[in-house]
A and B are shown apart, each in its own frame.
Chain A
Amino acid sequence: MALVRSALRLTRSSGVLAQCSRSMADMPLTFAAPSQVFYNQQDVRQVDVPSFSGNFGILPNHVPVLAVLQPGVVSVVEADGSTNKYFVSSGSVTVNKDSTVQVLAEEAVPLSDLDAAACRQALTQAQADLASATGDQERVEAQIAVEVSEALVKACE
């Protein structure tokens, strides 16, 4: 009888312990572009995102935040320690109360897919477009292109 009771207590406490370990270190990340998913609710250790309010790193139990992505590099440190870097053009990042993170990028490519020469060429083209832009709409679009190209060149270095 005593054996049964102690066994029950053991299983209940181990259940509580298991719950504790889940909430401490897990951060399910969903990082996707419209045409490609890089992480789908996968647990990672850290995510660094470039946002308009500054670059910040997200660790488990980060305070909930909403931010808009700037052109730049998102780096993800996975559970086994390896780091993956991706270039994003724009998008949004959400950190929720339950420590889930959603990084939704409009366009995202792994850094290894970037060609430095093509990026520099895009920058010179965008700067030329900005110089020759007429009208507000064109100027703003050219400005955005320049910002993205500058971030691309910086990411390639």
Chain B
Amino acid sequence: MLSRSTFLLPLCGPQQQQQQRAMSTLKAISMRLRSVKNIQKITKSMKMVSAAKYARAERELKPARAYGIGAKTFYEAAEIGAEEPAPDASQLLVAVTSDRGLCGAVHSSIAKRIRANYTPEGNYKIVCIGDKSRTILQRTHNQNILFHVSEVGKKAPSFSDATAVAQEILASGYEFSTGNIFFNIFRSVVSYDTSELPLYSLDAVTKSPNLAVYDSLDAEVTQSYLEFSLASMLYYAMKEGACSEQSSRMTAMDNASKNAGEMIDKLTLTFNRTRQAVITRELIEIISGAAALK
């Protein structure tokens, strides 16, 4: 009898454990199922919100594009950037991102471009528009950051935002000969291009040979023109960046909802299977218990 009980015990042990495990996994699965369903609701609503913001951003991008292309035309027509600048000339880099994440690779692509082309020891300063670029670039290029702009991304960018940044750049007193604005050009709902807009200082423009073609220019007019042009190009970059960010967030949240939906389907199947297994096991125990008593 002892031997039988000892024989029975090891059988009961893992079975009991398995039963307990099945019960606890049932609870665990249902908890997981509930949380994934909540996540799906959240990502769906985020997708709706960013779809609405994207529609507005795309509408506002059309005039902004004509404006930005008009602002660039002078530099292209006058071929100001035709000569290569001196390799250690001071540069100003502007990274146009925003504060909020969950939007795919829009922010990291800009930081990657800057990291790839500029080593921390170079002679340049970075202006970070948006906290995301600041957090990524702070790790390696902390001493190169001139200043950063926060509270970007909640509302659509306006021309006064661009002028505020331009004024801060000019007031910072950093003398640069050339520069680049890094931003994402919106191509379509599913794609964007990380690209750059060149910036030129008063020196670079006045030294350019083609400037002589332009009639009756004095330094004051050129300076005012360049300041306004800086604000215009920043505005254009911010508009394009905002549109790319909203469309990227929309697709990212859409993918997240789809993945959550797949997880919910799989979990539901596992849940039902486990529930049926638990019921079957209980029945077996009851029946075998009753059969043992008989």
Contacts and interface: CB of A to CB of B under 8 A. Distances in A.
Asked if chains A and B come from one complex, the reply is: yes
Interface of A: 30, 32-37, 40, 52-53, 63-68, 90-92, 94, 96-98, 100, 102, 104, 106
Given A36-B63, A102-B71, A92 B235 contact: no
Interface stretch (B23-31, B92-100, B185-193, B220-228): B220-228
A100 B66 CA distance: 14
Nearest to B60: A35
A66 B225 contact: yes
A8 B62 CA distance: 43
A91 B213 CA distance: 21
25 contacts: A30-B70, A30-B73, A32-B67, A34-B158, A34-B159, A34-B235, A35-B60, A37-B62, A37-B67, A52-B224, A53-B216, A65-B215, A65-B217, A67-B221, A67-B225, A68-B221, A68-B224, A68-B228, A92-B224, A92-B229, A94-B70, A94-B73, A94-B74, A96-B74, A106-B159
Interface in B188-238: 213-217, 221-222, 224-225, 228-229, 232, 235
A111 B177 CA distance: 40
A104 B222 contact: no
Closest 8 A-B residue pairs measured CB to CB?
A96-B77, A102-B70, A34-B159, A30-B70, A37-B66, A37-B63, A32-B67, A63-B215
B215 A104 contact: no
B216 A34 contact: no
A104 B71 contact: yes
B215 A64 contact: yes
Given A33-B67, A37-B63, A104 B214 contact: no
Contacts of B22: none
Interface in B52-69: 60, 62-64, 66-67, 69
A97 B74 CA distance: 10
Contacts of B71: 102, 104
A121 B74 CA distance: 38
A90 B227 CA distance: 12
A44 B144 CA distance: 47
A70 to B, nearest CB: 11
B215 A98 contact: no
A123 B64 CA distance: 30
B138 to A, nearest CB: 31
Nearest to B76: A96
A145 to B, nearest CB: 15
A91 B216 CA distance: 18
A122 B79 CA distance: 43
A91 B70 contact: no
Contact of B63 (A32, A52, A67, A97): A32
B215 A96 contact: no
Given A64-B213, A65-B215, A102-B74, A30 B66 contact: yes
A104 B217 contact: no
Nearest to A34: B159
Contacts of A30: 66, 69-70, 73
Contacts of A68: 221, 224-225, 228
A98 B216 CA distance: 18
A64 B214 CA distance: 5
A148 to B, nearest CB: 15
A89 B77 CA distance: 26
Interface in B228-260: 228-229, 232, 235
